[in-house]
Amino acid sequence: MSFIQPPVRIRIFFALPLLMGTGIARAHGEGLPDPGSWWREWNTQPMLLLMLAAVWGFYTRGALAVWSQAGVGRGIPTARAAAFGAGMAVLFLALVSPLDAMSAVLSSAHMVQHMLLMMVAAPLLAYGAPVPAFIWALPARWRQPLAPWIRRAEGWYAPGYRVWQPLAVWGLYALALWVWHMPALYQAALRDRLVHDAQHLVFLLTSLLFWGVLLDPLRRLRMSRGAGVLYLFTTCLHASALGIFLALSPRVWYVDYGATAPLWNLAPLEDQQLAGMIMWIPGCLLYALAATWLFALWLRETEDASTLPGEAEALPGSAAAGGWAAAVTVCEGGEP
């Protein structure tokens, strides 16, 4: 797993307890919401709420620690902090709100839940610069041992790194997406809480990696914006293909929804078609919007780079900053 670079590993480390092994996602057939009372079905399992609160609290602590030293909006820009907050809110919407209950009933609702996790929450969280915040959230004496580890940063970036990392992450994301939609695995997730947790965890982690490569605050860790447009474009193509297969299939893939979808006046096949279409069109649109935004950033970058020809080469926050502080100072770099 050498393609997962240490700062990314830190991200994984902090995301792990988020969902792992607690059986918080609903399994199929438990307390089915009906059209009359669906809005009362909140997933209030203490473990889930606790973890969401812990992550959010941890981030806040880190951000405040940075800001108290450097001034508000310095180190971790306010936009990034706000994005993280919004990402947590979307996680809440996806995992706690009645949407979670609905996703046990309707394939299409489950699709919406997954898309919120992978395409809304994940980019917002990845943009939120969680790594520096989490590092700063640690007590000073714990931060100390991390310092030499991060100081070795210079050695991490092999020359082809910015090419191979995105390719590998692109493949991982594609693999996760396609493998988990195989009927056998998806059905297993519907029937078993742990498998369902694993599914959500894999989706969230791969998409955190996926968007992290595009949005990382460390310039050297993220791919070129222009290549990012192609990265999203090709992902949009294969994700659409999966959506198309779901939408056009003459058979129901996930038979467990066969019993529940009619409660909502949808034939099981229609429910599946809706799920496929949601993945295809709004999904593709989200990639398109993200790509457009990246592209706009890229254009702005070229303007800067051309007025100051040397600027593009000098990477902010290099060895001079040193230690774990580098992870923070680079956030100051040139982020919008």
Partner 1 sequence: MSSTAAPPEPADYAGDLEEFNKTWAGPKGFFKWFATIDNGPIGFGFMFFSVVFFLLAGLMALLMRVQLAVSENTFLSPEVYNQLFTMHGSTMMYLFIVPFLEGLIMILLPPMLGTRDMAFPNTSSFGMWTFLSGGLMFYMSFALGDVPTIGWFAYPPLSGPEYTGLGTSFWLLGLGMAEIAGILSGLEIVVSCLKIRAPGMSLARMPLFAWTILVTGVMIVAAFTTLLTATMMLELDHEIGTQFFDPNHGGKPLLWQHLFWFFGHPEVYIMFIPATGFISSIVPVFAKRPLVAHTYVIIAIVLMGFLSFGLWVHHMFATGIPWLSMSFFTAASLMIAIASGIQVFAWIATLWGTRPAMKTPMLWVMGFLFIFVLGGLTGVMVAIVPFDWQVHDTFFLVAHFHYVLIGGVLFPCLAALYYWMPKLNGRMLSERMGKWSFWTTFIGFNVAFFPMHMMGLLGMPRRVYTYPSSLGLDGYNMVATVGAFLLALGFLLTVANVIVSARKGERAGADPWGGDTLEWAISSPLPGPMFYQIPPVYSRHPSWETDESKRQDERIERASRATANKPETWRGILMVDVLNGLPQSIQPLSKGGYAPSFAALMITVASMGALLKLYLVGAICILLALVSIIVWLWPHEAYLKKIRESAPALEEESGLPVFTTGEKSIPWWGIVGQISTVSLMFSVLFYSYFYLRLYSPTWPQGGIPRPDLLMPGVAYGLLAASALPQLWARRAFKRGEEWQVSGGLIGTLLLGAAFIWALYAYLGGLEFTHRTNAYGSMFYLIQWLMSGLVGVGMLLNLGLHYRYRRVPEDREHFMPVQMQVTAMFWYFLAVLGIAVYGVVFLSPYV
CA distance 227 to 246: 29
CB 256 within 8 Å of CB 190: yes
Length of the chain, please?
A: 336
CA distance 62 to 149: 19
Cβ 237 to partner 1 shortest distance, Å: 7
Residue closer to partner 1 (CB basis): 16 or 175: 175
CB atoms within 10 A of CB 225: 20
Cβ 167 to partner 1 shortest distance, Å: 10
Span of 7-15, 23-31, 95-103, 267-275 interacting with partner 1 by CB under 8 A: 267-275
Q: Does 231 contact partner 1 by CB under 8 A?
A: no
Residue among 271, 209, 279 nearest 241 (CA): 279
Q: Which two tokens stand for residue 294?
A: 């990246």
Q: Does 315 contact partner 1 by CB under 8 A?
A: no
Amino acid (one-letter) located at 315 = L
Residue closer to partner 1 (CB basis): 140 or 314: 314
Span of 51-59, 70-78, 134-142, 297-305 interacting with partner 1 by CB under 8 A: 297-305
Residue closer to partner 1 (CB basis): 59 or 287: 287
Q: Which two tokens stand for residue 239?
A: 């994700």
Q: Does 273 contact partner 1 by CB under 8 A?
A: yes
Residue among 7, 134, 9 nearest 66 (CA): 134
Site mask for partner 1 (CB under 8 A), range 50-69, x = bound = --------------------
Among 240, 328, 330, 331, binds partner 1 (CB under 8 A): 240
Among 184, 265, 314, 320, binds partner 1 (CB under 8 A): 184
Residue closer to partner 1 (CB basis): 248 or 259: 248
Residue closer to partner 1 (CB basis): 52 or 291: 291
Q: Which two tokens stand for residue 27?
A: 């399994």
Q: Does 288 contact partner 1 by CB under 8 A?
A: yes
Among 158, 285, 315, 319, binds partner 1 (CB under 8 A): 285
DSSP symbols for 298-336: HHHHHHHHHHSTTTTTSPSS-TTT-TTHHHHHHHHSS--
Residue closer to partner 1 (CB basis): 153 or 291: 291
Span of 13-21, 145-153, 286-294, 321-329 interacting with partner 1 by CB under 8 A: 286-294
Q: Does 261 contact partner 1 by CB under 8 A?
A: no
Q: Does 168 contact partner 1 by CB under 8 A?
A: no
Number of residues that bind partner 1 (CB under 8 A): 43
- Dihedral of alpha carbons 241, 227, 91, 79, sign: negative
Q: Which two tokens stand for residue 286?
A: 């989200």
CB 63 within 8 Å of CB 57: no
Q: Does 270 contact partner 1 by CB under 8 A?
A: yes
How large is the greatest C-alpha to C-alpha distance in the chain, in angstroms? 63
Residue closer to partner 1 (CB basis): 72 or 241: 241
Q: Does 199 contact partner 1 by CB under 8 A?
A: no
SS3 for 35-74 is CCCHHHCCCCCHHHHHHHHHHHHHHHHHHHHHHHHHCCCC
Q: Which two tokens stand for residue 200?
A: 């959500």
Cβ 250 to partner 1 shortest distance, Å: 6
Q: Which two tokens stand for residue 97?
A: 């709100």
Q: Which residues bind partner 1 (CB under 8 A)?
A: 182, 184, 224, 226, 229-230, 233, 236-238, 240-241, 244-245, 247-250, 270, 273-274, 277, 280-282, 284-285, 287-288, 291-292, 295-296, 298-299, 301-303, 305-307, 309, 312
